[in-house]
Amino acid sequence: MSNRVRYDIDGHFFIIKLIDPKHLNSLTFEDFVYIALLLHKANEIDSVLFTVLQSSGKYFSSGGKFSAVNKLNEGESTNEVEKISKLVSAISSPNIFVANAFAVHKKVLVCCLNGPAIGLSASLVALCDIVYSQNDSVFLLFPFSNLGFVAEVGTSVTLTQKLGINSANEHMIFSTPVLFKELLGTIITKNYQLADTEIFNKKVLQDLKQSLDGLYPKSVLGMKELLHRQMKEKLIKAQAMETNGTLPFWASGEPFKRFQQLQKGNRRHRL
């Protein structure tokens, strides 16, 4: 359970919603793991065809909570084995678990992007099959190089596949935001141009129900499997590479130093 994430089931739709707009829907590592567990739960319900990610307020999610990341660095050990083991347990394993939950998810993943998504939260958006935007103020930001580490949670695959290699290079290397004008037609397929988030969420669900009318459920899931098969294989292969690639950065302590600067207001995301 989480105070920042809840779920509901509405017929063929398993809805996962971020519910902490006061804190821009920032999430702990446990929250990301809980979302992954909900994906597994949705997989086990035969009547569910779509898993829908919703949020609240003005931000989809501002990413990981600074305090949650900095807490991992408390009581730092001088023993190298203990230090690496702690990082593998606290960072590497959750990242693999979450990325894999999205990669192997059987239902159609729909994201209702109501606002900006940053960091690991932006990675989840990129992992979805269909993304709808509330308005043209949305953007995705992957500030990994600005935070002192490298690609995580499938972004080395999803961004190159969906944005193209040159655009992915620019945004990932320089930690620059992917603005609406580039998202539309690559990651975002439809813009609703609505002002209210709850109205947007309801409208998307209503449209999905209408679109589903007359379709054969097994065909829907079979289509998802065929269309997603190559992406799934690439994501599963990338998980080990991303995890092994980013672990030395965390072990160096540089990301923790930068997250502390963010928490103290001495550093800002490059928006």
Mean pLDDT of 126-134: 98
pTM of the model as a whole? 0.91
CATH label of the domain that carries residue 150: 3.90.226.10
Cβ neighbourhood burial of 244 (10 Å; 0-12, 13-18, 19+)? exposed
Residue 207 has pLDDT above 80, yes or no: yes
For residue 75, give every residue at least 6 positions away whose Cβ sits within 8 Å of its Cβ, in sequence order, or none: none
- Encode burial over 255-269: b for 16+ CB neighbours within 10 A, e otherwise: bbebbeebeeeeeeb
pLDDT of residue 36: 97
In a domain, 269, yes or no: no
- Encode burial over 56-76: b for 16+ CB neighbours within 10 A, e otherwise: bbebbbbbbbbebbbebbeee
Q: What is each CA distance from 235 to 40, 93, 268, in whole angstroms?
A: 17, 15, 30
Mean pLDDT of 56-73: 83
In a domain, 171, yes or no: yes
Mean pLDDT of 232-242: 89
In a domain, 169, yes or no: yes
In a domain, 174, yes or no: yes
DSSP code at position 92: I
Domains held by the chain: number:
1
For residue 136, the number of C-alpha atoms closer than 13 Å in the C-beta half-sphere is 4
* Residue closest to 124 by CA, chosen among 31, 193, 244: 31
Among 44, 152, 182, 198, the one annotated catalytic: 152
In a domain, 72, yes or no: yes
In a domain, 234, yes or no: yes
pLDDT of residue 120: 93
pLDDT of residue 268: 63
pLDDT of residue 87: 79
Nearest-angstrom CA–CA distance, 41 and 134: 27
Per the annotation, the verdict on 152 as an active-site residue is yes
In a domain, 34, yes or no: yes
Cβ neighbourhood burial of 226 (10 Å; 0-12, 13-18, 19+)? exposed
Q: Report which of residues 63 and 92 the model is more confident about.
A: 63
Determine the structural domain holding residue 187 and report its residue range: 5-264
Q: Report which of residues 105 and 239 the model is more confident about.
A: 105
For residue 111, the SS3 value is: strand
Return the minimum-mean-pLDDT range out of 194-198, 223-227, 240-244, 259-263: 259-263
The interaxial angle of helices 155-162 and 165-174, nearest 10 deg, is: 130
Q: What is the mean pLDDT of the chain?
A: 91
